[in-house]
Structure 1
């Protein structure tokens, strides 16, 4: 485990390959007295293992989490565990989840033996009718592995026989197998600047987790962008099953963005709200974007789908995420998720198990105090996008003469944004939005 001194950037922890010279540098610094340190985190536990999360949330909001404990704290922030649980209770839950993941992975391995083999595919294995495609690239990957000399390789004839002898497949299996090569292609592109992903075993772990998730979540399956959300989990959590469950919890928050019908995508509602809020806080910019043909701001879809992974350095995006989750924290999250039957359910549990408002994150407290009743309260990510647009408003108004210009200006901000400042501005915009909504009621 690498330990960072106060003042060190997070890039010291998430090592970038030396030949990559254009990767954004992290602005996040370990700050004594502000960043949640190992000592402060350990001191928040009772002898039995319950966590005093109230002070922890404010510390995360002020200065983020020390990288060495980030994965462990994220499990609480994302609702994997109840802070009031004991060490023994969490150990039992963790073991049950690891067994569940292993069972799902075994099911997937029976359908396609490369799951869990330490390699992955980047070419399709079946067509939409479920008929096998014996692509030479798939056979090469199966026989040689993506890294020669790796144990557990499947030879081409074994895979070919399995492809031929599987018999009729269910529609669910067909759909799942159609996802596998796209997952592989995305895995090869995800966070390739990091030394961590030079190792074949880490790429394969990412492919396995996303493949298993695609099997259990029939509604969503797999969509591009999910690899960006999953990648940090396997870097922060050494055990593959633990990383899977952290990703699964994050997807419970975000899966609505990835769900689509023939006529709409899940993120459209957020984009519509994004435009409405921008119209309130910066009407001149809103009108300019509308005039350019950017109605409902489709150019912002990537920011919402992958939570600013492309706009910030790797370390800063993790810092941004944990601040967001601390601000949005709901102490009932664990119970809401556990009461839900499966990953494909939309959790709708109600608040009320925790009596004191102080146990909630600041963003949630503002929602509760405002008295504004919303069926689906807007996530802080929408206000973060508004804050970015507002910060870049002068440049957009002056230089954008078409949507291509808008996209270019927003793409050029990579590594130029300050995560803490973006969160502070998002909270101010949220407060302004709530006041506007309260006037309508």
Structure 2
């Protein structure tokens, strides 16, 4: 039956996993992802990849995902491994114990936040400020008892800053994936708000920045338990949080934009020079693609497919124990063929070329692949930055995630070889 379903699965059947409101169906990009028998990681193949005590054959899983993505029914549990929530070498019992500890930790964090703002965990959320910039409760928050019953000024800078984030998170929650039936439920919106609010409390350095809601939303939809969804999001943010670091003088993705500039300059100097001449050498037109991992350029279903392809290709077996680089732990200098199979294709490129200096995440090379696809059009038609933005805007709904990732891998390989010869 599963095989038959995968052979016959239509766009409508796929979208049934994440139903879209009828009035929004015309406006969203078309879905290109298809379940493919023998290529997509199915429930049966996923369960068969575990040993009797729970060790996961991650090499087999990565191979399957890189060929055809993950069946919607198991995306959440598969993502937990791809993002490093669990070690494939752990047992069922070890993971259950770890999951329980994390749930307790999340509940403790939630209780801490609830004491300060009782609306957290209530199934509701806020969209108006509850304190002023000076830390004084607003009239609305006093009337609604949202500040924990403390009708006096907060003096703790961390508490003030966090409380100032909360209504902005609420406003973003209302705008998040609003075409999906899932978010017609206030309880589901509140779940997203709770997770983002608690993360903002825990991350003293960055807190909350618009766009995190787009990263968190799929975890909330795919993973039913709120604590489990939180830790999956937290692991994703370990890779992506630098994207959201902003100051008066720089934006978070600036280093990645700088890497993108170097990549295009190395593999396609003519295109780079053309963009420079148009005053686009800082590649700010690629800001959104990198910031929220192409959420705007793909349908919801295709964005999930793209993410799991990227995470599988970036997979590093050291990801569970170390989060040094954008794609996981540091790669050992000597890796044998058997160990190499436990790396994603992107990481494998680095090992095989022997050029171990990191040069950005796969997303940087994915943007490079998009630019290369539009190379002729950009050179011929782009007379200014508005033209560049317009040409790149034309990719919305028309990108094939698998082809784009494979092209990104090709560019990455070429780039590493050139950089190695230049050393």
Which bracket does the TM-score occupy, shorter chain normalised? over 0.9
- Alignment partners' CA distance in 2, 1:425 and 1:237: 31
Give the match for residue 211 of structure 2: 225
Give the match for residue 379 of structure 1: 361
Pairing of 1:147-162 with structure 2 (within 5 A): 156=143, 158-159=145-146, 162=149
Note if 1:63 corresponds to 2:68: yes
Q: For structure 1, which segment, 376-385 or 91-100, has the greater mean C-alpha deviation from structure 2 after superposition?
A: 376-385
Counterpart contact for 2:316–2:328, Cα < 8 Å? no
- Alignment partners' CA distance in 2, 1:243 and 1:309: 19
Counterpart contact for 2:117–2:148, Cα < 8 Å? no
Pairing of 1:342-353 with structure 2 (within 5 A): 350-352=330-332
Q: For structure 1, which segment, 181-190 or 277-286, has the greater mean C-alpha deviation from structure 2 after superposition?
A: 277-286
Unaligned runs of 5+ in 2: none
* Structure 1 residue corresponding to 2:302, chosen from 312, 316, 325: 316
TM-score after normalising by structure 1: 0.89
Structure 1 residues 357 and 81, CA, compared in 2 at 3 Å: closer, same or farther? same
Count of equivalent residues: 414
- Alignment partners' CA distance in 1, 2:304 and 2:327: 25
Note if 1:185 corresponds to 2:171: yes
Unaligned runs of 5+ in 1: 140-155
**Alpha-carbon distance, 1:347 to partner:** 11
Note if 1:23 corresponds to 2:28: yes
Superposition RMSD in Å = 2.2
- Alignment partners' CA distance in 2, 1:408 and 1:55: 41
Q: Give CA deviations for 1:346-380 in whole Å, capped at 9, x if unaligned.
A: 99854449862221111111101212141x43211
- Alignment partners' CA distance in 2, 1:44 and 1:363: 22
- Alignment partners' CA distance in 1, 2:398 and 2:36: 20
* Structure 2 residue corresponding to 1:125, chosen from 130, 133, 157: 130
* Structure 1 residue corresponding to 2:191, chosen from 200, 205, 223: 205
**Alpha-carbon distance, 1:259 to partner:** 1.6
Q: Give CA deviations for 1:206-244 in whole Å, capped at 9, x if unaligned.
A: 000000000000111001110000000011100000000
- Alignment partners' CA distance in 2, 1:49 and 1:158: 47
Structure 1 residues 11 and 163, CA, compared in 2 at 3 Å: closer, same or farther? same
**Alpha-carbon distance, 1:279 to partner:** 1.9
Give the match for residue 425 of structure 1: 407
Counterpart contact for 1:332–1:354, Cα < 8 Å? no
Give the match for residue 434 of structure 1: 416
Give the match for residue 340 of structure 2: 357
- Alignment partners' CA distance in 2, 1:397 and 1:351: 38
Segments of 4+ moved more than 6 angstroms: 345-348
Structure 1 residues 159 and 350, CA, compared in 2 at 3 Å: closer, same or farther? closer
**Alpha-carbon distance, 1:268 to partner:** 0.9
**Alpha-carbon distance, 1:321 to partner:** 0.6
TM-score after normalising by structure 2: 0.93
* Structure 1 residue corresponding to 2:95, chosen from 76, 90, 93: 90
Structure 1 residues 330 and 129, CA, compared in 2 at 3 Å: closer, same or farther? same
Note if 1:399 corresponds to 2:381: yes
Structure 1 residues 190 and 72, CA, compared in 2 at 3 Å: closer, same or farther? same
Give the match for residue 8 of structure 1: 10
